[in-house]
Structure 1
Amino acid sequence: METKVVECPQHGVQPFGLLCVHLAANNNSIALGFYEHDEGDLGRPDAWCSACEDRWRTAESEEEQEQWFVDCDFKIVCANCWDNSKKQNIG
């Protein structure tokens, strides 16, 4: 299986994962929480913050779950940026 990669301006060519828009944009010292899905074929699993987790837990229908995914607005980040986000947001 070929590993999927992305070129990060900071870390170069790396495997990648997806972060919700909140985690991807978090540049301060406030931990937002960090939840990850353990499946996938990327370098890292999909991950989202506590606010997105709260919304996921209340999504009852398939339509609400699909809307949750759209609202998370997942961003592609390199594995190093993903790892840094995990360290920063586990509170």
Structure 2
Amino acid sequence: MNVRKFLAGIEFRTNRPRFELGDEHTGFVTGVDSGTPLIRIGDTVLRLEGASVPVDAQVHFRVTAFDDAASTGEAELVEIVADPD
């Protein structure tokens, strides 16, 4: 059996995903820091500056700043997809 053929296409997910400016994604607000909602995806933390969103809400967001070395960034709220209530 050829191991390369067997493993072809297998990729490992990272716990520190990277984002590009302007990327749009959906995620959950997992906490709040000094009144700013936080989205955690693995070990990456994105701050939803200027948004008022409850914890556990599912949101659609756009990345506005990202520091790959620190795995942190900022995002703007596009819309609330699902309210936790």
Higher helix share: 1
- Please give the TM-score of this superposition, normalised by the length of structure 2: 0.28
Higher strand share: 2
Higher gyration radius (CA): 2
Q: Which has the higher contact order (CA 8 A, sep 6+)?
A: 1
